[in-house]
A = this chain, B = another copy of it.
């Protein structure tokens, strides 16, 4: 229906005439006949807005949103306050482009400056960029930075990094030629090789089984091997745990979805990328900095642009252009809404719900822990049944039971989970397993 092309027939005729054409087809005379799509696209004709909305609702209704969520694995079921939604999705933020003209983009630029400050604090390092795609691709960029910084191609990757994140790192390593060495978890903690000279060591904290890693030890390994320490962290954990930066991480990346972004079937999410100041010139993606305007008024602008692809081209630190700015704005607003006390409270409530869930399910026959190491907001269990089957059966009971990994199931509980839901979950699991 092309509702969104405003031109009237008269206007089209006038405009065509003024450029010396007599039909819209002539606009495409430069396209060789052989390449013209004679019959047009083989697609249904356009619908009205309302029929379109009805179809979208039909599709949405075919998803189970009634499931009480105990799944995590990098995507967490947190509450989002109305204020954050309302403000973050104001059309000035939603329909703006990259702030190439800072004089009319102070809104987005300042929001990103505040975002960078908040995220750098969570990571415990000096610099955060203006966002990357997601946690998985942030790991890829961290590896690239480290290899460039150390000139060493080998990277030790902990088995505690989410499976899909490791797969992603591996996919891109095929292009860069990095050599990835898988490092196993032993009772829920990464056990590093005795020797070797990697350019970087990458681990996740807390890791995919929910276990809290020994970052001090990891730092020691990095020092011993001359590698950079790359930590994929859960930013919510910084509400209670020491920050990776404070424990010596060189690059700290993570997934920002927990701050204001719904589960969204996996995207758009938010790639957090932070590092020590010494690495800022290798930082991937955009960076906003404070400066002044001609009248010496405070102003913000994207800076150190010479790192970027549009200027440095094949020598750029990364190929990232479009990032996840709007989600970064959401994150900044959500973190401001939580505030210092709220972040701690959020982390504490996740930990409490997880402990309660842990205690409830480990009482069930045949359920054993995947690891004994301390956990924060999720934990792994071994089951007498294939985890995929358990997930399907639990769905029939109204629960998303968890995320299967390493033959077990990782169960997460956020501040949204109540005692009643946790009890019901345990009862359902007992029923499914019996």
Residues on B with C-beta less than 8 A from A50 are 79, 416
Those of A151-181 within 8 Å (CB) of chain B? none
Say how far A403's CB is from chain B's closest CB, in angstroms: 24
Those of A10-42 within 8 Å (CB) of chain B? none
Is A86's CB under 8 angstroms from B81's CB?
A: no
Interface SS, A side: helix
Convert A329-357 into 0s and 1s, putting 1 for each residue whose CB lies closer than 8 angstroms to a CB of B.
00000000000000000000000000000
A49 interfacial by beta-carbon distance below 8 Å: yes
Is A91's CB under 8 angstroms from B86's CB?
A: yes
Those of A392-434 within 8 Å (CB) of chain B? 416
A82 interfacial by beta-carbon distance below 8 Å: yes
**Chain A residues with a Cβ closer than 8 Å to the other chain, count:** 10
Subset of 8 A-B contacts with CB under 8 Å: A49-B81, A49-B82, A50-B79, A50-B416, A53-B82, A86-B91, A90-B90, A90-B91
Residues on B with C-beta less than 8 A from A81 are 49
Residues on B with C-beta less than 8 A from A82 are 49, 53
Complex Cα gap A54–B86 (Å): 18
Those of A45-61 within 8 Å (CB) of chain B? 49-50, 53
Tell me the nearest residue of chain B to A53, going by C-beta. B82
Complex Cα gap A82–B82 (Å): 19
Complex Cα gap A79–B53 (Å): 11
Tell me the nearest residue of chain B to A79, going by C-beta. B50
| Closest A-B pairs by Cβ, 8 of them | A50-B79, A49-B81, A49-B82, A86-B91, A53-B82, A50-B416, A90-B90, A90-B91
Say how far A53's CB is from chain B's closest CB, in angstroms: 8
Chain A positions within 8 Å of B, measured between CB atoms, are 49-50, 53, 79, 81-82, 86, 90-91, 416
- The residue in A50, A53, A91 that gathers the most chain B C-beta atoms within 10 A of its C-beta is A50
Residues on B with C-beta less than 8 A from A416 are 50
Tell me the nearest residue of chain B to A50, going by C-beta. B79
Complex Cα gap A274–B416 (Å): 52
Say how far A239's CB is from chain B's closest CB, in angstroms: 18
Complex Cα gap A384–B54 (Å): 36
Complex Cα gap A53–B79 (Å): 11
Residues on B with C-beta less than 8 A from A79 are 50
Complex Cα gap A91–B90 (Å): 9
Say how far A78's CB is from chain B's closest CB, in angstroms: 10
Say how far A224's CB is from chain B's closest CB, in angstroms: 47
Complex Cα gap A416–B49 (Å): 12
Residues on B with C-beta less than 8 A from A49 are 81-82
Say how far A312's CB is from chain B's closest CB, in angstroms: 39
Tell me the nearest residue of chain B to A89, going by C-beta. B86
Complex Cα gap A91–B83 (Å): 12
Residues on B with C-beta less than 8 A from A86 are 91
Complex Cα gap A91–B50 (Å): 25
Complex Cα gap A82–B52 (Å): 12
Tell me the nearest residue of chain B to A86, going by C-beta. B91
Say how far A353's CB is from chain B's closest CB, in angstroms: 14
Say how far A222's CB is from chain B's closest CB, in angstroms: 42
Residues on B with C-beta less than 8 A from A91 are 86, 90
Residues on B with C-beta less than 8 A from A90 are 90-91
Complex Cα gap A53–B416 (Å): 13
Tell me the nearest residue of chain B to A48, going by C-beta. B79
Say how far A9's CB is from chain B's closest CB, in angstroms: 14
